[in-house]
Amino acid sequence: MAVRGSVAAVGAVPGLWWGAARAAAGLWGRCPRRGYAADPAQSPPTFGFLLDIDGVLVRGHRVIPAALEAFRRLVNSHGQLRVPVVFVTNAGNILQQSKAQELSALLGFKVEPDQVILSHSPMKLFSQYHSKRMLVSGQGPLVENARALGFENVVTVDELRMAFPVLDMVDLQRRPKTTPLLRNDFPAIEGVLLLGEPVRWETSLQLIMDVLLSNGNPGTGLATAPYPHLPVLASNMDLLWMAEAKMPRFGHGTFLLCLETIYQKMTGKELRYEGLMGKPSVLTYQYAEDLIRQQAERRGWAAPIRTLYAIGDNPMSDVYGANLFHKYLQMAKRDGAEEQGAGGLWKQRPSATQSCASILVCTGVYSPKGTEPTQPAQGVEEAPFHGHRDFSFSPGLMEASHIVNDVNEAVQLVFHKEGWVL
């Protein structure tokens, strides 16, 4: 099932697919300062947090001081979280276990692997592709990540390059000195996994295109490129992300933009995705919601989790995604639980979650301005849309429920709204 088109398509289709898969397996403005007095009334949690990592908790390898303050409020004297928390990052070039260990060391309390959602984590649900021979692009522990997601037969871009040396010709130092024999024993590739930005973009772009244009047989040539092309699953649509540098860095969304543009230019057709994962995809938020529910059940918190608070620094991925998920929740609530899953094979279970509020912090990608986008000052241009092609621009979805300085203020805001002791 291709995930593409308008906001309505992106919001509704992945939600329906999620049900079947589970059965089968104010943006602009100055950041205000807030302070709240402690409220002695406290009850079992009916809310949970979805926390972005880069730009909210850390900048590169440095923890943001406000994150330590926030977790002093979130963790009790026994080192346990007072409310369910899931870390939702669009990073993907790391193992889930390693990310949990990294967060544990930075934040000073034990983060379990099942509290961490990487951009590609929902690919576990795409079981129809797990047995297919897939070309995988990215960096870091690629094969380990792909296998952890359920993919049994993967080929890396480097392995493909070694099998067909004449395909990689941009770097003069890597061009073969002699013409190698053509191979006819290389099994056909049946799909493409894009797990994160690679290191050598020119190599990955070239070889992915070769696979798509040759229908999985890059050692041969076809007179006409097949369309629809082989299935493509991608995660992390962030155009930019924030590290130690003063300006944002290219993200995997920039790589996807390059691939889509090249494919369109060469074929005259649109590159299509069978699945787009990571924020702002509704599928990622449904996956996170499920982990929040499981976490609450393990802790013995009987009250259902009614509200999720998504804290992030990127208006396009964090705010847009949380608001899109909130919109989906309202639609599901209005339409009831009789909504059919993909193929009409499964009726979606009603969710206890009623709302998802977006909280934007000013410690990462977002930089507060003095003007509102709906009422731009004379001579001031509106910011360009940094979202992915398949997520239509919708100004309402770009407006955060709250804007605060940092994650500590965000936690204080939520505790105040929920009547919790700070």
Q: What is the pLDDT of residues 319-344, one digit of tens each?
A: 999 999 999 999 988 876 444 333 33
212, 229 contact by CB (below 8 A): yes
Q: Distances from the Cα of 244 to the Cαs of 58, 79, 170, 372, in angstroms?
A: 9, 29, 30, 28
Higher per-residue pLDDT: 220 or 255: 255
| pLDDT value of residue 392 | 84
Distance CA 419, CA 402 (A): 17
Give yes or no for a contact between 318 and 152, defined as CB atoms under 8 angstroms apart.
no
- What is the per-residue pLDDT for 2? 37
Check residues 351 and 285 and name the one with the higher pLDDT.
285
User: What pLDDT was estimated at residue 373?
Assistant: 37
Using a pLDDT cut of 90, give the percent of the chain over it.
68
Buried b (16+ CB within 10 A) or exposed e, 235-249: bbbbbbbbeeeeebb
pLDDT confidence of residue 177: 72
Pairwise CA distance, residues 413 & 247, whole Å? 28
Q: What local confidence, expressed as pLDDT, does residue 11 receive?
A: 37
- The mean predicted confidence, pLDDT, of the chain is 85
Domain range annotation of the chain: 47-119+279-337+344-367+384-418, 123-276
Residues found in the chain = 422
Identify the pLDDT of residue 332.
85
SS3 call for 211: helix
User: What pLDDT score does 153 carry?
Assistant: 98
User: H helices within 214-281, ranges in order?
Assistant: 252-267
388-403 pLDDT per residue, tens: 999 988 889 999 999 9
- In tens, the pLDDT along 219-253 reads 887 778 899 999 999 999 999 988 889 898 999 99
What is the pairing mode between strands 232-235 and 58-59? unpaired
- Give the per-residue pLDDT at 38: 38
Is residue 145 pLDDT above 70, yes or no?
yes
What is the pLDDT, as a whole number, of residue 171? 78
Give the span between the Cα atoms of 43 and 420, in whole angstroms: 8
Q: Which of 12-21, 96-105, 152-161, 183-192 has the lowest mean pLDDT?
A: 12-21
Specify the pLDDT at position 32: 54
Domain 47-119+279-337+344-367+384-418, CATH among 3.40.50.1000, 3.40.50.10420, 3.40.50.150, 3.30.530.20? 3.40.50.1000
Q: What is the DSSP string of 343-370?
A: GG--BPPPPS--EEEEEEESSSS----S
Residues 1-54 have pLDDT tens digits of 333 333 333 333 333 344 444 444 433 345 655 444 433 445 789 999 999 999
* Band of residue 176 on the pLDDT scale cut at 50, 70, 90: confident
Question: Residue 367: pLDDT band by 50, 70, 90 thresholds?
Answer: confident
Over range 353-367, report the average pLDDT: 95
User: What pLDDT, on the 0 to 100 scale, is given for residue 42?
Assistant: 59
46-50, 283-287, 332-336, 350-354, range with the lowest pLDDT: 332-336
Q: How far is CA 314 from CA 134, 307, 374, 410, in A?
A: 31, 21, 19, 15
The second-level CATH assignment, the architecture, of 123-276 is 3-Layer(aba) Sandwich (3.40)
Mean pLDDT of 343-357: 64
Q: Is the dihedral of CA 95, 100, 105, 107 positive or negative?
A: positive
User: What pLDDT is recorded for position 5?
Assistant: 35
Q: Do domains 47-119+279-337+344-367+384-418 and 123-276 have the same CATH topology?
A: yes
80-84, 154-158, 168-172, 298-302, range with the lowest pLDDT: 168-172
Task: Return the H-helix or E-strand segment holding 62.
Answer: strand 62-63
